[in-house]
Amino acid sequence: MGSMEASTAPENGSAASGGAGGTACNGAGASSNGGGMERRLRSSAASASWAAHLPLEVGTRVMCRWRDQKLHPVKVIERRKGSASSSPADYEYYVHYTEFNRRLDEWVKLEQLDLDTVETDVDEKVEDKATSLKMTRHQKRKIDETHVEQGHEELDAASLREHEEFTKVKNITKIELGRYEIDTWYFSPFPPEYNDCPKLFFCEFCLNFMKRKEQLQRHMKKCDLKHPPGDEIYRSGTLSMFEVDGKKNKVYGQNLCYLAKLFLDHKTLYYDVDLFLFYVLCECDDRGCHMVGYFSKEKHSEESYNLACILTLPPYQRKGYGKFLIAFSYELSKKEGKVGTPERPLSDLGLLSYRGYWTRVLLEILKKHKGNISIKELSDMTAIKADDILSTLQSLDLIQYRKGQHVICADPKVLDRHLKAAGRGGLDVDVSKLIWTPYKEQG
């Protein structure tokens, strides 16, 4: 999940360095120890003064020791009693690491917090600038790759506050799915009876979820499914794609939405799955077809959406599956004879993936095409909506507005540079293996 490397170097400057020379260094040693004791006393006094204010209030800002064993700035989002004791020191705190995406929010104990750094009122912009300056260039790049906070651009301020208040505390910490135990990223509105259950166990075929491992083991002996409950519309090597109708498989569709919401911050959970089709990508072996990701789409979209949600499960990320799912959605649009675009807002990783896909597809055509080509012609060839083509080419400085129309400027060297920056295209969709007809309402 993009955690930074932990420092393993031992601390230097140990006082016990030479027994024989102890007498000669005694004066210096006493002075050094006295200074150290004075600092510890000051620290203890500061901590003692803050101990009087425990438990910490929601909204408090403080430094917290993270998994890399370094201190990072956090904001207290929520608090709870950690045991039956009524002592203020026994509280646990749900914190947001202000340097990172919300997916790393977690419950921490008091001993992980440096009480000497407690702040109760800090200007957001000043703090963000300060924490950014403390990070090395390598740390900043590594965090930006996977923890960019985006995807809320289309939410107004009131909606964003409501969203963050409702989803501020992660209710499920881990899930078990097939052979993987996966740390979750975000809140998902599971039924109330699962609120006190930090880990859920999913059947990887029907997606029913249970509180205990024993329940899952009993379920697996009775579950007849070895693949998603739908039609297999694509098979190439060990990869399969299944189309699941939300109306025909309502429980599966709802469970898939619960599961996906654990890894998608901004999406609304659709309880009415009747209106959606789910395209579930699987890796297949002799034990069955194991879900690696999916995308959903509305059966009928007035806005030309060809994708509503997209998710590659964390154990399968960085293997090209996200790019494959995007490419697959456009192949379906081509079969339908329509242009398509993903539903907004996109998640942070979704936006990066789409921008990369549009860049690769469009620039490959521009490299091979001789003569002029219009936005409309590019849209007809790719099934990409004209607005997405325009925004992509503008972001690459490949389009100009001359005499009342947009003109594409395609210098070969510039195209090669942008293609290299866009990265690999991922897994190819073999259209000859796609056996599918567009959805039509039965009856």
Backbone angles phi, psi at 348, to 5 degrees: -60, -50
Of 343, 364, 377, 441, which one is the catalytic site residue?
343
| Sheet containing 209-210, strands listed edge to edge, beginning at the edge strand earlier in sequence | 180-183, 174-177, 199-202, 209-210
What b/e readout covers 207-217, taking b as 16+ CB neighbours within 10 angstroms?
bbbbeeeeebe
Q: ∠ CA 394-395-397 to the nearest 5 degrees?
A: 60
Q: For residue 111, indicate whether it is catalytic.
A: no
Separation of alpha carbons 347 and 367, rounded Å: 30
Residues 6 or more apart in contact with residue 176 via CB below 8 angstroms: 182, 199, 200, 201, 202, 213, 216
In the chain, how long is the greatest CA-to-CA distance? Answer: 98
- Asked if residues 325 and 312 have their Cβ atoms less than 8 Å apart, the reply is yes
- Asked if residues 367 and 341 have their Cβ atoms less than 8 Å apart, the reply is no
Residues belonging to the active site: 343
